[in-house]
Structure 1
Amino acid sequence: MARVTDRWSEIPAGVPGGYSPIPDINDRHVQELGGWAVSEHVKKANDGLKFNKVVSGDVQVVSGLNYRLIIDASGSNGKDAKYEAVVWERDWTNTRQLLSFKPAN
């Protein structure tokens, strides 16, 4: 299977243009991206959501990386829920964008 080198030593390439599982969901950068995604969402929605942790996710190699993250977060009512965030990141330009944020199915 072809491999693509980037943030981790090896990310399975999988289907060209498709998503592959994140090798280490507990990676500090992945968890930081999840917290950042929740913060960006809160800036727009002003709903008081609090980041707990990224519980699963996939990565897609594009001109940078798309991260599709399943995030556990607490609402202002104190109840935990799962959310799906898609974050695009280009390491070499220090660019990051929240593409979508919604309740996970």
Structure 2
Amino acid sequence: MFGGVHDAPDREKNPDAIDLARFAVTEHNSKTNAALEFVSLVKVRMQLVTGTMNYLTIEARKVDGGANKLYEAKVWLRPWQKFKGLQAFEPVANAD
């Protein structure tokens, strides 16, 4: 069943969700030549599409120092195709 985005309470503690968040940071670094390191997974929301779209609120910081900041990432999973793709990775507006 396809539907809207819904919260996934306590999923931020799930090892698979944490792996997705780490993947998002690594992919963002690779695509943009950024140097962020994962700190924590703050929130998870999900949407059933053709697969699952994971909306992740991630806390990360620059490798060379600096304050922790929040980012929103979208990771699309289609396990039957062994597909995992970063669709978006942006700083959270007004998170300071």
Alpha-carbon shift at residue 47 of structure 1 (Å): 1.8
Q: How large is the RMSD of aligned CA atoms in angstroms?
A: 1.4
**Equivalent of 1:104 in 74, 88, 92:** 92
Runs of 4+ deviating beyond 3 Å = none
Amino acid at match of 1:21: D
| Alignment match, 1:50 | 37
Q: How does 1:1-105 map to 2 (within 5 A)?
A: 17-23=3-9, 24-75=11-62, 76-105=64-93
TM-score (norm 2): 0.87
CA distance in 2, matches of 1:29, 1:93: 18
Q: Aligned to 1:99, what secondary structure does the other structure show?
A: strand
Q: Rg: which structure is higher?
A: 1
CA distance in 1, matches of 2:65, 2:14: 29
Q: Aligned to 2:24, what secondary structure does the other structure show?
A: helix
Instruction: Give deviations 1:35-87, integer Å, cap 9, x for gaps.
Output: 00000000012121001111002000011000000000011333210000000
Alpha-carbon shift at residue 92 of structure 1 (Å): 1.9
Instruction: Compare the two structures and name the one with the higher helix fraction.
Output: 2
Structure 2: tracts of 5 or more residues without a match:
none
Give the share of equivalent positions with the same residue, in percent. Answer: 33
